[in-house]
Amino acid sequence: MKIFAFGDIHGCITYLEDLFRKVRKKIDRDEDLIVFIGDYIDRGPDPAGVVDFILELRKAYRTVCLAGNHEQMLLDYYYHARNRELYFSNGGTTTIMSYGIVSTPSGKRINIPPEHLEFYGSLLPYYETEKYIFVHAGIKPGVSLQDQDPVDLAWIRSEFIYSDFDFGKTVVFGHTSQLFRPYVDKYKIGIDTGAVYGGKLTCLELPAIRFHQAP
């Protein structure tokens, strides 16, 4: 089985379409697995289009979708009207514009389709295989995977990245942008290469540790 892990997309639908075209012929629909590392939305031009693309992809391919901190912020804002400033300062405006606003008896809210809300609610905090751990931001060193704080899984940065802790498996993560070039060390691989900041969108092919990028 091969695994194809996609880094942070952040609404960059054209990059996602281009990158998937590059790797599509390499993917066996019955045997291989596609993993999305989270942060599908915010900052980029078409967050809703990215989710539509992934929903269609899931109909034909074995796919795992993880939760990023941006999906957490969106749901917190949508359901509880919390942390408005935090969400807006982290690029939430593009997601709101992508979906539009609808008036309801209780006031105005983001017009997120039910299938998209179901998608956001189904996202996993991490995914583990025999040799790899896939997570959005990282793992707190010295804490078992089952005991990790969901906030750390979606938000942690330097404490994880600069640690030489052996997690027992290679950790594949996003969240912290490495412009253009993926981050690779003995214990982890970072695949957020700053697509929304003028960098690349990266797909990591495992177990070959081969990188595919767009544009």
Closest CA to 7 of 215, 206, 150, 195: 195
The reported pTM is 0.96
Burial of 106: CB neighbours in 10 Å, binned 0-12, 13-18, 19+: exposed
pLDDT mean values, one per 10 residues, the chain (215 residues): 98 98 97 98 98 98 98 94 90 97 88 98 98 98 96 97 96 94 97 97 98 97
The CATH class, in words, for 3-214 is alpha beta
